[in-house]
Copies of this chain bind each other. A is one copy, B any other.
Amino acid sequence: MTSDKPSKTYDIELIPGDGIGTEVVKAVMPLVRTVADQHGFEFETTRRDWGTEYYLNHGEMMPGDGLDRLTDADSIFLGAVGHPDVPDHVTLHGLLLPIRKGFDQYVCKRPNVLFEGIESPLRGYESGDIDFVVYRENTEGEYADLGGREHRGLAHETAIQSALFTRRGTERIIRAAFEAAAERERHLTSITKSNAQAYSMVFWDDIVAEVSEEYPGVTVERLLVDAASMDLIRRPHEFDVLVASNLFGDILTDIGAQITGSMGLAPSGNIHPGDEYPSMFEPVHGSAPDIVGKGVANPLATVLSWSMLFEDLGETDAADALWDVVTDQLADDAAPRTPDLGGDANTQTVVGDLSSRL
């Protein structure tokens, strides 16, 4: 589906954010524009310089009407948020989490693939052996802003942190995961901690049981989060789709990134499946203060996240083109690699090589 004249223009909001977020977001732009062009569409970007620098100047991570400014976009791309000078709960609650929640991006979709050319830290695992996707609840659960702290500094000081699970919030992520499983290998693993958390997690189990009746073709496995963490190391090849709460999904996707070779390869989508709000795509790696400014951040997670963004817009061919060019490069021994993958190439060189493969 290539044509000479762009048929469609999308409106994309870019939030490069902090640290290497700004580096990778910038570096991949020429590549993603070329791919769009090759597939008959283009996009206009609005760059928002929100993040920690903005916070240090304005006392907030984004303007008060930040969400309003983003809301009409077709999609949002975020680099990374977080800075050593400001506590994480400030930076995250000021930008990333409000967007996930405010735009009801309730599906956090995180594929974990062991690409050809990448060595897993797990003995005996070769490329192709690991390929699963995590559907993580992204708007409530253990990340709810619910709790408090009383009697500060006194002997009876107490903090309470409450996790909130609504039927609507729980059903919809579980249903999204069943849908995904039905399209893939028809095997869904639901992660809980029902043996210790008898309110939230037994509720979750009940909803899995209910929704599973709509998907008789999908086999369902229930796994406790501690066992699942082990099993992602012991038998990652047996997973297809995992569905988990906000916190458990967070932990399991980091394990997933690690066993598939590098945090620098893990893409993600914060998806609002309806039309009301834009979705947001971001690499899973953070702002990586230790390598900021060195120009060696791995841009591949960002490219793969753009692939997910294109997919979400319905631009499947462009999405595939981006995914394939990464796959290609990784499979090529002679291709440049950033230090996290054992090479000594910089970000620019890796992106340049990707472009040459289009």
Which residues from chain B contact A164 at a C-beta distance below 8 Å? 158-160
Task: Give A106 Cβ to nearest chain B Cβ, in Å.
Answer: 16
Chain B residue at minimum C-beta to C-beta distance from A246? B196
**Quick check: A194 and B87 within 8 Å, CB to CB?**
yes
Which residues from chain B contact A147 at a C-beta distance below 8 Å? 162, 197-200
**Quick check: A230 and B257 within 8 Å, CB to CB?**
yes
A136-184 interface with B by 8 A CB criterion = 142-143, 145-149, 151, 154-168
A258 adjacent to chain B (CB < 8 Å): yes
Instruction: Count residues of A near B (Cβ-Cβ below 8 Å).
Output: 67
Chain B residue at minimum C-beta to C-beta distance from A160? B162
A121 adjacent to chain B (CB < 8 Å): yes
A33-67 interface with B by 8 A CB criterion = none
Interface centre among A82, A91, A157, A257 (most CB of B within 10 A): A157
**Quick check: A197 and B161 within 8 Å, CB to CB?**
yes
Binds B, one of A5-13, A211-219, A221-229, A269-277: A221-229
Task: Give A320 Cβ to nearest chain B Cβ, in Å.
Answer: 29
**Quick check: A196 and B143 within 8 Å, CB to CB?**
yes
A252-268 interface with B by 8 A CB criterion = 253-255, 257-259, 263
Q: Within the complex, which residue of B123, B143, B162, B233 is in contact with A119, where a contact is CB–CB below 8 Å? A: B123
Chain B residue at minimum C-beta to C-beta distance from A167? B157
Which residues from chain B contact A93 at a C-beta distance below 8 Å? 198
A247 adjacent to chain B (CB < 8 Å): yes
Which residues from chain B contact A148 at a C-beta distance below 8 Å? 199
Q: Within the complex, which residue of B167, B234, B247, B258 is in contact with A193, where a contact is CB–CB below 8 Å? A: B247
**Quick check: A199 and B257 within 8 Å, CB to CB?**
no
Chain B residue at minimum C-beta to C-beta distance from A199? B147
**Quick check: A159 and B154 within 8 Å, CB to CB?**
no
CA distance A250 to B253 in the complex (A): 17
**Quick check: B250 and A198 within 8 Å, CB to CB?**
no
CA distance A87 to B209 in the complex (A): 14
A239 adjacent to chain B (CB < 8 Å): no
A118 adjacent to chain B (CB < 8 Å): no
**Quick check: B199 and A161 within 8 Å, CB to CB?**
yes
- Contact flags A84-122 to B (C-beta < 8 A → 1, else 0): 000111011100010000000000000000000001111
**Quick check: B196 and A121 within 8 Å, CB to CB?**
no
**Quick check: B251 and A251 within 8 Å, CB to CB?**
yes
* 7 tightest A-B CB contacts, nearest first: A88-B195, A147-B199, A161-B200, A157-B167, A159-B203, A226-B254, A162-B162
A154-B167, A155-B168 known; 7 new pairs, CB 8 Å cut-off, are A147-B198, A148-B199, A149-B202, A149-B203, A157-B203, A159-B200, A233-B233
